[in-house]
């Protein structure tokens, strides 16, 4: 493996923010990093801006670009990243967010100290123009080693854990060994977290802020939930959460199932 960590950035219609996202990934203090850009066929200048930033920063030699044949959605973009990651670790960065400069350095130190399958960093959130920021997920320093360690963490140790794919450093083998992929275009992170949490034997958390989540009024996750297609998807997702919990019983799974369904119910009610 030529690099230790892949930072995967799916890109679709984020021309206002993508330069900051790419630069935050490229300027990590931990240098043994591969950037993996997934072009999900947006209609604005996002990819042009991203490529210009890659050239400007001189990181083209450690950047790989995957281009979809058409817009396929964030879930499939994550799958493309998983399938094309050859490094030992994988980190997802959404293209309207930013990483702290030492994010990978801090996460890698904890991951290597604990041999964690998933290492979670604390995160903050900000509004679109970054005029107001506050804590989003704050963890103490913890290491949990037990079968289904991530399920235990979610159910008991960190009940306010974020289910998003970002903010977490994964061993790539976790995805490849268990054939874990997303199965939805939106809210794709919920089942992805349940699966990775179930198969992780060791998870670690650190109090350090590793990422800033930008809350945008017109982002994919904040609009359009009352359409018939979205409502149907949400109902199907609840069924799949029940199915996964039934097929993978373990300590804490019922609690995690109920929490994931509450997240979906909140979207249904919008």
Q: Would you state the pLDDT for residue 157?
A: 86
| pTM listed for this prediction | 0.94
User: Alpha carbon of 68 to those of 45, 75, 107, 144, 243: distances in Å?
Assistant: 16, 13, 30, 38, 31
Q: Which residues of 40-57 are buried (b: 16+ CB within 10 A; e: fewer)?
A: bebeeebbebbbebbeee
How many independent structural domains does the chain possess? Answer: 1
What residues contact residue 35 under an 8 Å CB cut-off, 6+ apart? 6, 7, 9, 22, 25, 26, 54, 59, 62, 63, 64
8-state DSSP, 230: H
CATH of the domain at 118: 3.90.550.10
Each of the 270 residues of the chain gets a pLDDT tens digit; together they read: 346 999 999 999 999 999 999 999 999 999 999 999 999 999 999 999 999 999 999 999 999 999 999 999 899 999 999 999 999 999 999 999 999 999 999 999 999 999 999 999 999 999 988 888 899 999 999 999 999 999 999 999 886 788 899 999 999 999 999 999 997 766 789 999 999 999 999 999 999 999 999 997 766 555 567 788 888 888 999 999 999 999 999 999 999 999 999 989 988 776
Q: Would you state the pLDDT for residue 231?
A: 86
Domain that holds residue 232: 5-268
Give the count of alpha carbons within 13 A of 228, CB side only.
Answer: 0
What residues contact residue 198 under an 8 Å CB cut-off, 6+ apart? 148, 150, 151, 248, 250, 253
Q: Would you state the pLDDT for residue 228?
A: 87
Q: Would you state the pLDDT for residue 159?
A: 66
């Amino acid at each position: 493996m030529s690099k230790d960590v892949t930072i995967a950035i799916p890109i679709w219609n984020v021309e206002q923010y993508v330069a900051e996202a790419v630069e935050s990934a490229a300027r990590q203090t931990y240098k043994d990093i591969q950037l993996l850009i997934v072009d999900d066929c947006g209609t604005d200048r996002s990819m042009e801006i991203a490529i210009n930033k890659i050239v400007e920063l001189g990181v083209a030699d450690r950047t790989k670009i995957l281009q979809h044949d058409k817009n396929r959605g964030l879930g499939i973009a994550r799958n493309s990243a998983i399938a094309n990651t050859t490094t030992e670790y994988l980190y997802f960065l959404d293209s309207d967010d930013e990483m702290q400069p030492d994010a990978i350095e801090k996460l890698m130190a904890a991951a290597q100290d604990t041999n964690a399958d998933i290492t979670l960093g604390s995160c903050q959130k900000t509004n679109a123009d970054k005029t107001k920021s506050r804590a989003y997920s704050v963890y103490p320093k913890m290491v949990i080693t037990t079968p289904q360690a991530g399920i235990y963490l979610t159910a008991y140790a960190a009940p306010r854990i974020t289910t998003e794919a970002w903010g977490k450093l994964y061993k790539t083998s976790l995805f490849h060994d268990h054939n874990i992929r997303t199965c939805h275009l939106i809210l794709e992170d919920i089942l992805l977290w349940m699966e990775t949490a179930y198969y992780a034997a060791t998870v670690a958390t650190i109090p350090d802020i590793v990422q800033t989540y930008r809350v945008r009024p017109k982002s994919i996750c904040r609009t359009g939930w009352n359409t018939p297609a979205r409502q149907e998807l949400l109902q199907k997702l609840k069924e799949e959460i029940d199915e996964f919990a039934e097929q993978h019983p373990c300590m804490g799974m019922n609690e995690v199932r109920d929490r994931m369904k509450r997240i979906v119910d909140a979207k249904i009610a919008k």
